[in-house]
A and B are shown apart, each in its own frame.
Chain A
Amino acid sequence: MNLLIALVTTGAAVTALYMSWRRRHAPGGAARPMALAGWLLACLAAMLWVRFRGPEHGLAYAAIALTFVAWAVVVLAGRETPRPGERRRLPRVAGTIAGRAAIARTLGRVFVAFPLAGAASLLASVLIAAGLPWGTVNRYVFAIMVAPIIWGVLAMWAGMTETLARTALVLTGASAACAALLFIR
């Protein structure tokens, strides 16, 4: 019964969000209050999951339930036939890895996104851990959790930059600076 209450509340939250989405172009501004109600209901649902299943399992169940209910709403209610203008193909982009120059450019980007960004992110996260005013365990775990976040963002940067050499230089410099601060005493 408890699970049903939490699940129904999650369903109500997603339904409110969906109703808000449906009315996003409608006059009268009903979409915003509806969206707010949806997110408040999502918070209430999370609290119910936590109450019924404890804080750890409860939050996990709340997130999983929200995902599956939303997917269900997308499949059941969000399906629509594209407008005539949308039926044609989306704009084309150039995309080929043919030719030596393109291969070299790609390999260079891979080098910057993986070893260089990896070294910079790992060293930076260890340096951050060194400066935190917490106990050893919490500092180390913070570094472990933040390292992939920094690496992911730096790799994204490597993927979008038009000045790869400058990016490589910045990452190398950052790595060297972090290593110097950590190891040279």
Chain B
Amino acid sequence: MTSWLPRFSTVVKKSLAGHAWLGLVGGGLMYLICLSGTLAVFYQEWERWEQPEAHELQRADPASVQRAVATVLGRLPTPPPHLYVGLPTEAMPRVTVSTEEEHQAWFVGPDGALGEQVAHDWTHLLLNLHIYLHLPSTLGLTVVGSLGAMLFGLIVSGFLAHPRIITDAFRLRLGGSMHLEQVDLHNRLSVWGAPFHVIMALTGAYFGLAGTLFFLFGAAFHGGDTEAATAAIFAAEPKVQGDGRIPNVERALREIGRVVPAGAAATSPSFMTVHDAGTPKQFIEVEVVQPGRLIWAEYYRFDADGSYLGRSDYSDGPAGRQVIYSSYRIHFGNFGGVPVKILYGLLGLSLTVISVTGINIWLARRKTRDYLNDLWIGTVWGAPAALALTAVTEILLNVPSTAVFWISLLVATAWALRLKDPARARRDLCATTAALLGVFVVGYLLKFDTTRLPIVAWWMNGALAATAIIMIAIAAGSSKTIVFARPSEQIPHGDLDHTRAV
């Protein structure tokens, strides 16, 4: 009897082809996004580490914040569309005042005086790699968002292509061929990490595709008005009419204690925005983190005099609004303090390893060995080296380093292509990364006053030093690989044994 349904074996075979193809097309970019995303989990810690001498405080005095806001508005030639005030939290115990423009961000001291300029350029380089791949913003968001969708496709095709993935759920065959090890590592990390990977794919795609979807909602349902579509999901801005005086943020901050419901009172405000600052339409929005919730925050609004207007209802509004407002914390693991961040870092690392082992498996199963093997090893081991180099150039030498990252990645792949020896390329690039990290940590300790370093700076430098040691160990292992290739991996018919695991 013939059936219109394809045979199961055909589905498996085709799914495997689709899985391999999708992985291959997105491979390099997916790897860069996963690697930078793993590091970006700790973006607040990186920011504190990048400017370790900024003043840190546990609580902001509303009067000091008022003085800082007045000083910044007095300094600017024209009123900014938005004035942002970062308030101290456990993860970021600093006060900042900033606008959208570059070089208009300052730390604030306990007395409200403006301190050094905020310059988290290396952290932003990392975040921009993760969010935009350093492309122009709309294009970058769309490309990264589409890769989120591809990741979902890879997860689905991965399960369809591997009918034994559940049967083998606990199997990790080590000591055989490196290929078999890579397959098991890829599948075990994938199957048990699947819930996390699905969440990453969908929330990542949302960040990238939201702009396009809001445009379509506007075109289809709001007569071409994208802003109206956006306002339908996110609370619309209140209509206020004032006189454009310096906004009374001090009163707004004092009022928060009165208007926040008792259940959320344990949390102090984390951020404040003055919309249309210095104009008659200005109003103040104060973010208060909601304990036990995944929504980013509840937003309390005040007019320019600091009188309470109402809240945005992110915490108890429509379910859809709560879901969309929870995506950021779920994506970046920003909901359980440092322990959850460490777990998220490890989950991100697992996704990075999955993206690498996936391509390794494909490369190893080919009948041929060509430039793709070298290109891939140059990308995989060149990216950490390139990031380490940007830390040296950006933080120690104050050189804008986006171009440095891509040029050094290009040089790394060119080096691997020239060597035509994956093991040696891996050894050289790991040794380079270790050397750069060593130079960086020493340079960092010489550049900054070690007596003023916050504990987080020591932790981050310790992590970098540990990474350098791991890189040295991998480099040493790479040397052994060349000499002691396992007999089981000898490829018959005279093929070169260069398809080892990256």
- Residues facing B in A91-136 (CB within 8 A) are 91-98, 106, 109-110, 113-114, 118, 121-123, 125-126, 129-130, 134-136
Main DSSP-derived SS at the B contact region: helix
- The chain A residue sitting closest to B490, CB to CB, is A89
* Contact, CB under 8 Å: B150 / A155: yes
With A141-B324, A182-B220 as contacts: A63 and B149 at CB distance below 8 Å? no
Least Cβ–Cβ distance between A26 and chain B, in angstroms: 14
* Contact, CB under 8 Å: A159 / B209: no
- The chain A residue sitting closest to B488, CB to CB, is A87
* Contact, CB under 8 Å: B321 / A141: yes
Q: Tell me if B264 is interfacial: C-beta within 8 Å of chain A.
A: no
Q: Which one, A18, A144, A156, contacts B153 given CB within 8 A?
A: A156
* Contact, CB under 8 Å: B146 / A114: yes
- Interface residue count on the A side (C-beta < 8 Å): 81
> Which B residues are CB-close (under 8 A) to A122?
209, 212-213, 216
* Contact, CB under 8 Å: A151 / B365: no
Q: Tell me if A148 is interfacial: C-beta within 8 Å of chain B.
A: yes
* Contact, CB under 8 Å: A94 / B367: yes
With A53-B292, A160-B14 as contacts: A24 and B167 at CB distance below 8 Å? yes
* Contact, CB under 8 Å: A71 / B188: yes
- The chain B residue sitting closest to A109, CB to CB, is B21
* Contact, CB under 8 Å: B294 / A90: no
> Which A residues are CB-close (under 8 A) to B169?
17, 21, 70
Q: Annotate B338-363 by CB proximity to A: 1 below 8 A, 0 otherwise.
A: 00100100110010000000000011
Q: Which one, A71, A97, A140, contacts B192 given CB within 8 A?
A: A71
Least Cβ–Cβ distance between B333 and chain A, in angstroms: 9
With A130-B221, A159-B19 as contacts: A140 and B292 at CB distance below 8 Å? no
- How many inter-chain residue pairs (CB < 8 Å) link A and B? 251
Main DSSP-derived SS at the A contact region: helix
> Which B residues are CB-close (under 8 A) to A81?
173-176
Q: Tell me if B494 is interfacial: C-beta within 8 Å of chain A.
A: no
- Residues facing A in B286-310 (CB within 8 A) are 292-294
Q: Tell me if A30 is interfacial: C-beta within 8 Å of chain B.
A: no
Q: Tell me if B270 is interfacial: C-beta within 8 Å of chain A.
A: no
Least Cβ–Cβ distance between A101 and chain B, in angstroms: 16
Q: Tell me if A143 is interfacial: C-beta within 8 Å of chain B.
A: yes
Most buried by A among B220, B319, B330, B350: B220
Kindly state the separation between the CA atoms of A145 and B320 in the bound complex, as whole angstroms. Answer: 10
* Contact, CB under 8 Å: B365 / A67: no
* Contact, CB under 8 Å: A160 / B177: no
Q: Tell me if B77 is interfacial: C-beta within 8 Å of chain A.
A: no
> Which A residues are CB-close (under 8 A) to B202?
145, 148-149
> Which A residues are CB-close (under 8 A) to B217?
126, 129, 140, 143
Kindly state the separation between the CA atoms of A135 and B321 in the bound complex, as whole angstroms. Answer: 11
* Contact, CB under 8 Å: B149 / A160: no
Least Cβ–Cβ distance between B383 and chain A, in angstroms: 21
Q: Which one, B148, B171, B326, contacts A148 given CB within 8 A?
A: B148
Q: Tell me if B415 is interfacial: C-beta within 8 Å of chain A.
A: no
* Contact, CB under 8 Å: B209 / A68: no
Q: Which one, A24, A54, A151, contacts B292 given CB within 8 A?
A: A54
Q: Tell me if A32 is interfacial: C-beta within 8 Å of chain B.
A: no
Q: Annotate A1-45 by CB proximity to B: 1 below 8 A, 0 otherwise.
A: 000000000000000011001101000000000000000000000
Q: Which one, B153, B170, B232, B330, contacts A78 given CB within 8 A?
A: B170
Q: Tell me if A176 is interfacial: C-beta within 8 Å of chain B.
A: no
Query: Which of the 9-residue segments B193-201, B247-255, B447-455 touches chain A?
Result: B193-201
Most buried by B among A53, A66, A95: A95
Least Cβ–Cβ distance between B189 and chain A, in angstroms: 7
Q: Tell me if B179 is interfacial: C-beta within 8 Å of chain A.
A: yes
Q: Tell me if B18 is interfacial: C-beta within 8 Å of chain A.
A: yes
> Which B residues are CB-close (under 8 A) to A96?
366-368, 370, 372
Spell out B's residues near A (CB within 8 Å). Answer: 14-15, 17-22, 25, 145-146, 148-157, 167, 169-177, 179-180, 183, 188-189, 192-193, 195-196, 201-202, 205-206, 209-210, 212-213, 216-217, 219-221, 229, 232-233, 292-294, 317-321, 323-324, 326, 330, 335-336, 340, 343, 346-347, 350, 362-368, 370, 372, 488-489, 491
Q: List 18 A-B contacts (CB under 8 A).
A: A57-B293, A71-B350, A75-B172, A82-B175, A86-B176, A93-B367, A95-B368, A109-B25, A110-B25, A126-B220, A137-B232, A137-B318, A137-B320, A138-B318, A152-B152, A152-B201, A160-B14, A160-B15
Known: A56-B326, A89-B489. 4 other contacts (CB 8 A): A73-B170, A96-B366, A96-B368, A125-B213
